[in-house]
DNA sequence: CTTATACTATGATAATTGTCATGTTTTTCT
DNA sequence: AGAAAAACATGACAATTATCATAGTATAAG
């Protein structure tokens, strides 16, 4: 049982507004969990008894479709709280959470979260603002899906991964997702994602080395139509 | 300046948790507004100084796309609070609000809302739950957009309108949207929406009289692929 | 009532995207 | 290192959806 007050991940979400006392309580009841790439944290339609704070790594939130493929609704990196929505609305999960790469998570029982929402006004308002932000992003994604081509969406996925998870010294994306992962994020067939990445390569917008991707011309990639 | 405590619309949202005293304050500062079909309540990228509660009618929340068409993200019927997200996250609007049919709205200054969020814990938690619910719906819509065909999405739009806004005695939808409205909701070209509605007619799933639509075989319409 | 305007309808065609098949390359495991 | 598995790549073709053109129909305004 480690302390929470110096956790970097905590600084990135609503828990930054908790008092020292409240943090001690969280630290006392939390558990640290490790999942390997591909492991399932929870599935669809489950009842959660707590939320998971991403300390290290990235999870994907996915929904299985009728045809057996799954769509990645969003990626959760360091500091993101997984399961918050379900816990707050007291509903079953409608997405599953899967480790996209190896992850370290802190599990916090839901009562700990709900109690703080009821007692700490600053915390509560911060959660509210975060949810509002999430809602804005979800609506933005919806509009992108409705109005933009696969090509545009894939170019945005690449720049998103670059900006959110960074690049190595030699310019490659820090996180190496498979073509299938990209297809699932963009909402297209894996072959289509592969084809368009090949186009981007031919056009000099990106280059690859194995499954590693380097963005060569960011400005032009962002202007793709 | 009318009273709020007996307003039906209020019962449908977080304001149902306000105390009599708080409601009096809201009643004292609110203004009732009327917009005709097609009139704009606010545009994209605006700063809002309050929220709008739908007392009567329906508004659509839309986003203009690069090609000049706009996409309808959601419909706001009786009791829905418009602008709540922007006010809470203290950001500019990213959608515009337009009267889909004639509407009557109550405008409530944002301080009135924010003050109640800070002082009334029950209200605050209710707003939180509503936002969580909205987020769930937005993610659901995103997945539908990614995974379902235009035909499926249109059939869902029809059943949604039927269930949400009801039907007349003779079975026609209470709200008569244009084909263009449906296209905007479904995220397709107007011609495609028209074509598919024609197919539905031929298949006996719906019938029409002028622009009025009647769902003939709900179960089968819901099973459309 | 009639004329203008907006909405609905449908055909023809093009563009985008998905599916299936097949082969190559890369990674992983022993 | 070598075999097996997974991921990547690409062609051929099918299905879906968008776009353009054109015409009919309903609705509102004068």
Q: What percent of chain A lies above the pLDDT cut of 70?
A: 100
- The predicted model scores a pTM of 0.94
- Chain B interface, best mutation among A135, A137, A186, by max B CB count within 10 A: A135
Residue A2 has pLDDT above 80, yes or no: no
Read off the pLDDT of each residue in A83-108 and give the average, rounded to a whole number. 96
Read off the pLDDT of each residue in B139-148 and give the average, rounded to a whole number. 95
Among A71, A127, A146, beta carbon nearest to B143: A71
Read off the pLDDT of each residue in A170-186 and give the average, rounded to a whole number. 95
Read off the pLDDT of each residue in A87-104 and give the average, rounded to a whole number. 95
Q: Give the pLDDT confidence score for residue B5 in this predicted structure.
A: 86
Residue B102 Cβ < 7 Å to strand D: no
Mean pLDDT of chain A: 94
Protein residues in reach of strand C (CB < 7 A): A 67, 149-151, 187-189, 191-192, 210-211; B 178-180, 190-191, 194-195, 197-198, 208, 211
Give chain A as a 3 state SS string. Answer: CCCCCCCCHHHHCHHHHCCHHHHHHHHHHCEEEEECCCCEEECCCCCCCEEEEEEECCEEEEEECCCCCEEEEEEECCCCEECHHHHHHCCCCCCEEEECCCEEEEEEEHHHHHHHHHHCHHHHHHHHHHHHHHHHHHHHHHHHHHHCCHHHHHHHHHHHHHHHHCECCCCEECCCCCHHHHHHHHCCCHHHHHHHHHHHHHCCCEEEECCEEEECCHHHHHCCC
pLDDT in tens, B26-76: 999 999 999 999 999 999 999 999 999 999 999 999 999 887 889 999 999
* Domains of chain B in sequence order: 4-145 (2.60.120.10), 148-222 (1.10.10.10)
Mean pLDDT of chain B: 94
pLDDT in tens, B149-193: 999 999 999 999 999 999 998 899 999 999 999 999 999 999 999
Q: Give the pLDDT confidence score for residue B52 in this predicted structure.
A: 98
Residue B93 Cβ < 7 Å to strand D: no
Residue B93 has pLDDT above 90, yes or no: yes
Question: Contact B143/A118, CB-based, under 8 Å?
Answer: no
Residues of B in contact with A44 (CB under 8 A): none
Read off the pLDDT of each residue in A84-88 and give the average, rounded to a whole number. 97
Q: Give the pLDDT confidence score for residue B72 in this predicted structure.
A: 97
A104/D23 CA-to-C1' distance in Å: 64
Q: Give the pLDDT confidence score for residue B4 in this predicted structure.
A: 86
* Chain B residues whose C-beta sits inside 8 Å of any chain A C-beta: 63, 65-67, 69, 71, 73, 85, 88-91, 94-95, 117-118, 121, 124-125, 127-129, 131-136, 138-143, 145-147, 187
* Chain A residues whose C-beta sits inside 8 Å of any chain B C-beta: 63, 65-67, 69, 71, 73, 85, 88-91, 94-95, 117-118, 121, 124-125, 127-129, 131-136, 138-143, 145-147, 187
- Chain B interface, best mutation among A61, A130, A139, A189, by max B CB count within 10 A: A139
Residue A1 has pLDDT above 70, yes or no: no
Residue A176 binned pLDDT confidence (cut-offs 50, 70, 90): very high
Residue B1 has pLDDT above 70, yes or no: no
Question: Contact B187/A147, CB-based, under 8 Å?
Answer: yes
Structure tokens belonging to residue A75: 């990626």
Among B131, B143, B145, beta carbon nearest to A128: B131
């Amino acid at each position: 049982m480690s302390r929470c007050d110096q956790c970097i991940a905590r600084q990135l979400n609503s828990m930054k507004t908790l008092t020292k006392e409240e943090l001690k309580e969280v630290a006392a009841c939390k558990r640290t969990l490790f999942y390997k790439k591909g492991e399932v944290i929870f599935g669809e339609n489950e009842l959660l008894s707590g939320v998971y704070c991403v300390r290290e790594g990235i999870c994907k939130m996915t929904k299985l479709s009728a045809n057996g493929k799954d769509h990645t609704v969003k990626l959760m990196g360091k500091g993101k709280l997984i399961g918050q929505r379900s816990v707050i609305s007291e509903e079953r999960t409608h997405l599953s959470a899967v480790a996209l790469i190896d992850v370290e998570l802190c599990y916090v029982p839901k009562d700990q979260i709900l109690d703080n929402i009821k007692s700490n006004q600053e915390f509560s308002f911060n959660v509210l603002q975060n949810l509002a932000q999430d809602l804005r992003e979800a609506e933005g994604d919806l509009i992108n899906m409705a109005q933009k081509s696969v090509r545009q969406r894939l170019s945005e996925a690449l720049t998103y991964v670059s900006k959110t998870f960074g690049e190595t010294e030699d310019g490659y994306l820090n996180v190496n997702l498979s073509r299938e992962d990209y297809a699932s994020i963009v909402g297209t067939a894996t072959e289509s994602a592969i084809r368009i990445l090949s186009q981007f390569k031919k056009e000099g917008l990106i280059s690859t080395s194995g499954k590693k991707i380097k963005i060569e011309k960011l400005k032009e990639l962002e202007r793709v139509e």
